[in-house]
A and B are shown apart, each in its own frame.
Chain A
Amino acid sequence: MSAATSTRIPEGIGTRVRRFTSRRASWIPVFAALGILLALLLAGQAYFGNFLTPRVLSSLLLDNAYLLILAVGMTFVILTAGIDLSVGAVLAFTAIMGARMLSEGVPVVVVIPVMLIGGALIGLLIGVLIQFFDVQPFIASLAGMFAARGLAFLVSLSSIKVEDPAILWLQTKLFNIDGWYLSPTGVIALLVVAAGALVLQFTRFGRTIYAIGGNEQSARLMGLPVVRTKLLAYIICGTCAGLAGVVFTAYQGAGYPLNGIGTELDTIAAVVIGGTLLTGGSGFVLGSMIGVFVYGTIKTAISFLGAEQSWTRITIGALLLVFVVVQRVIVSRSSRR
């Protein structure tokens, strides 16, 4: 890219803008989300005066590590033009299952893989219903959500405290760098983001995800492995939900079957605000990360204000609305061409 541009005579701004929009149109919503995030942070600083501190910014990642992991998995599914409503319930199920196993003395090296596999299996169930029985993603993941929520209560009706040092270490160990701090859960979340971004950008599987979201029929006619890829997307989403269960258990120090109610909506909202089109085929894991931070910032700001936490959902709902309407306008404009 740099080689191509350096051989040319300096171009006008107009040409550059045009080339940028023709190449990177799908990044524009991500920048919009980034703009919103920065505006929120600056407004918070202007209003509160003590908002842009390493402490607040660090907690943005630490308090939302589980949501970030969920958002990465959800991005895969939404990119294929699907949806997964089960993630909140799967998080609750794997968390309570892990807590129960730990309380019964199962070693943590067994528990964590089991939690991940539990999530993956529910993802597989949803994928199979969608792919082989033509069930709408929304209904199939609904079944997955019901199943996971029921299983969670089957494991335990009440909260189970986790005392395993390894799990607790994930959240309590804080690496402190000049007032910024980072816990292993935060590291895990960032690693998941990086892995998600790399897979989507640099593997054939990742590109097939985008292809399916662009036009499933075309992807099939182009000879791409549509069935396998879609199944894998749901499995990844389920596995991420299992991993989020691990992180959430560490965060709460306990498993509770009522955890994560409504989390699927927060996740979807964060992904959409991060610039991923719900119609599939366009969006980025990095955008979803920004979406999660927008969500976290709103939450923090509202608690700074001492206002009702219910404002978080209202604000997120309003932002979601704005993004959905704008997306709709963009899509109808491009299809009119």
Chain B
Amino acid sequence: MTKIFKHRLVLPIAALVALILVNTISRPSFVSITVRDGQLYGSVIDILRNSAPLMLVALGMTIVIATRGIDLSVGALMAVSGAVALTIIDGSGSPDSPATLGIAIAAGVTVTLIFGAWNGFLVSVLGIQPIIATLVLMLAGRGIALLITGGFITTVTSTPYKFMSQGYLLGLPFAFYVSVVAIVLVALIQRRTALGVLTESVGINPEASRLAGVRSRGIVWGAYAVSGLLAGFAGILYSSNIMAADANAAGQYIELDAILAVVLGGTSLMGGKFSIAGTVIGVFTIQTLKSTITFLGVPPAVSPLFMAMVVVIVVLVQSQRVRNGASKLWATVSSRKEAEVAR
């Protein structure tokens, strides 16, 4: 077991550690953490805080990918949940009351849960390819969000709402706790119940799973619903960070970052075995990379170029042709060495 664990996570961890090392060497301030008013500040803390929405989305994406699927609608769903929640707060007389807050969040995530279930319905019942099925909401979702906010960027002032992404609890950002709770919950549900192994079974071999009596339809359906739910919470966090529902900017490209995080974490896009820990590492890697790019003075807008390079490197490393080529090269190099030694 430990062997597999090592094998699967060794590369992702190495990538993250290398990235942190490069950062630390080039700017020692990267790892420095300052304490102000009993709250921690610093680049690392920023990474923990800012990665929360991506973390939630990537966790959902991991499960969807494990079933051989993909969910492109998560970014649009983030926009929807933010729009729903902020519109409710905006319309209420008491934006600071916990009841308003509770209703707003619950309404936001319920809507995205329903949308997620809709995606699951298209994929598992109607048998539509996941890319296409989720493309529909990717396209329409932002329109719906714009409609909810009436085409404007709804801004609100609500101290408790703001607290979710910008507040601190016991010295650490509240958003980080949200990440941790999501990670723990997803990991518990997947690993303490049989859901994880059944999901992997469906992703690895759908036909054998069907013949073994696994209810694959329900499992696939559920995966998209969970992805929608988590995207909803991510949307709440995002809108809390800017205290505005921006239907165009919310979750822009996050589906791509999430897919990348999942792949970086060692979960194959072909489905099957998945690793929650890997995804967590992948998310931190991407967030650190973004922080690095900013530090390097590159305008954040150019960062997609770096992301493109990461995507290309990752897919090339995973490509069978490159692996075969590398092992052949290695074989010739080592055989040549042997020959030299023999001589």
Q: Indicate if A touches B (C-beta under 8 A).
A: yes
Nearest-neighbor residue (CB-CB) of A268 within chain B: B135
Contacts of A142 in B (CB 8 A): 256, 259, 311
Contacts of B190 in A (CB 8 A): none
Please determine whether B305 and A308 come into contact, CB atoms closer than 8 angstroms: no
Please determine whether B303 and A150 come into contact, CB atoms closer than 8 angstroms: yes
Nearest-neighbor residue (CB-CB) of A308 within chain B: B151
Please determine whether B305 and A147 come into contact, CB atoms closer than 8 angstroms: yes
Please determine whether A139 and B143 come into contact, CB atoms closer than 8 angstroms: no
A191 at the interface (CB under 8 A from B): no
Contact A328 B311, CB 8 Å, known A153-B299, A157-B301, A308-B151: no
A100 at the interface (CB under 8 A from B): no
In whole Å, how far is A82's beta carbon from the nearest beta carbon of chain B? 11
Q: 7 smallest A-B Cβ distances: which pairs?
A: A150-B305, A317-B140, A310-B146, A313-B143, A146-B308, A147-B308, A314-B143
The residue from B135, B144, B299, B320 contacting A314, defined by CB atoms under 8 A apart = B144
CA distance A261 to B311 in the complex (A): 20
How would residues 125 to 156 of chain A score, 1 for a CB under 8 Å from any chain B CB and 0 otherwise?
Answer: 00001001111101110111111011101100
Contacts of B305 in A (CB 8 A): 146-147, 149-151, 153-154
Nearest-neighbor residue (CB-CB) of A266 within chain B: B139
Contacts of B1 in A (CB 8 A): none
The residue from B126, B299, B303 contacting A157, defined by CB atoms under 8 A apart = B299
Contacts of A266 in B (CB 8 A): 139
Please determine whether B147 and A324 come into contact, CB atoms closer than 8 angstroms: no
Contact A143 B147, CB 8 Å, known A149-B304, A150-B308: no
Please determine whether B136 and A320 come into contact, CB atoms closer than 8 angstroms: yes
Contacts of A83 in B (CB 8 A): 131
Counting chain B residues whose Cβ lies within 8 A of the other chain, the interface size class is: 35 or more
CA distance A325 to B137 in the complex (A): 14
19 contacts between A and B (CB under 8 A): A129-B312, A133-B316, A134-B321, A136-B269, A140-B315, A147-B304, A153-B305, A154-B302, A157-B299, A257-B301, A265-B135, A265-B139, A309-B146, A310-B144, A310-B247, A311-B147, A314-B143, A314-B147, A328-B127
Most buried by A among B126, B146, B304: B304
A278 at the interface (CB under 8 A from B): yes
Contact A138 B70, CB 8 Å, known A314-B147, A317-B136, A328-B126: yes
B330 at the interface (CB under 8 A from A): no
In whole Å, how far is A159's beta carbon from the nearest beta carbon of chain B? 13
Contacts of B5 in A (CB 8 A): none
The residue from A147, A278, A310 contacting B147, defined by CB atoms under 8 A apart = A310
A198 at the interface (CB under 8 A from B): no
Please determine whether B315 and A321 come into contact, CB atoms closer than 8 angstroms: no
Contacts of A328 in B (CB 8 A): 126-128
A318 at the interface (CB under 8 A from B): yes
Please determine whether A150 and B306 come into contact, CB atoms closer than 8 angstroms: yes
Number of chain A residues close to chain B: CB under 8 A: 47
B322 at the interface (CB under 8 A from A): yes
A316 at the interface (CB under 8 A from B): yes
Contacts of B126 in A (CB 8 A): 325, 328
- Interface residues in B120-164 by Cβ distance below 8 A to A read 122, 126-129, 131-133, 135-147, 150-151
Please determine whether A310 and B142 come into contact, CB atoms closer than 8 angstroms: yes
Contacts of A138 in B (CB 8 A): 70, 131
Contacts of A133 in B (CB 8 A): 315-316, 319, 321-322
- Interface residues in A247-305 by Cβ distance below 8 A to B read 257, 261-262, 265-266, 268-269, 278-279
Nearest-neighbor residue (CB-CB) of B130 within chain A: A138
Please determine whether B306 and A278 come into contact, CB atoms closer than 8 angstroms: no
A332 at the interface (CB under 8 A from B): yes
Please determine whether A313 and B70 come into contact, CB atoms closer than 8 angstroms: no
- Interface residues in B258-317 by Cβ distance below 8 A to A read 259, 269, 299, 301-309, 311-312, 315-316
* A-to-B contact residues, CB < 8 Å: 83, 129, 132-136, 138-140, 142-147, 149-151, 153-154, 157, 257, 261-262, 265-266, 268-269, 278-279, 308-314, 316-318, 320-321, 324-325, 328, 332
Contacts of A261 in B (CB 8 A): 252
In whole Å, how far is A83's beta carbon from the nearest beta carbon of chain B? 7
Please determine whether B139 and A320 come into contact, CB atoms closer than 8 angstroms: yes
What would 9 more interface pairs be, CB under 8 Å, given A268-B135, A313-B139, A316-B140?
Answer: A133-B315, A134-B320, A143-B315, A146-B308, A147-B305, A154-B305, A257-B301, A265-B135, A310-B247
In whole Å, how far is B313's beta carbon from the nearest beta carbon of chain A? 10
Please determine whether B302 and A153 come into contact, CB atoms closer than 8 angstroms: yes
CA distance A140 to B126 in the complex (A): 27
Contacts of A268 in B (CB 8 A): 135
Nearest-neighbor residue (CB-CB) of B148 within chain A: A310
Contacts of B322 in A (CB 8 A): 133
In whole Å, how far is A155's beta carbon from the nearest beta carbon of chain B? 10
Most buried by B among A149, A314, A317: A317
The residue from A150, A278, A318 contacting B307, defined by CB atoms under 8 A apart = A150
The residue from A145, A310, A312, A321 contacting B136, defined by CB atoms under 8 A apart = A321
Contacts of B151 in A (CB 8 A): 308-310
CA distance A309 to B248 in the complex (A): 12
Please determine whether A324 and B136 come into contact, CB atoms closer than 8 angstroms: yes
Please determine whether A324 and B301 come into contact, CB atoms closer than 8 angstroms: no
Contacts of A129 in B (CB 8 A): 312, 315
CA distance A309 to B144 in the complex (A): 11
The residue from B127, B140, B304 contacting A146, defined by CB atoms under 8 A apart = B304
Contacts of B143 in A (CB 8 A): 310-314, 317
In whole Å, how far is B162's beta carbon from the nearest beta carbon of chain A? 26
Contacts of B308 in A (CB 8 A): 143-147, 150
CA distance A318 to B126 in the complex (A): 16
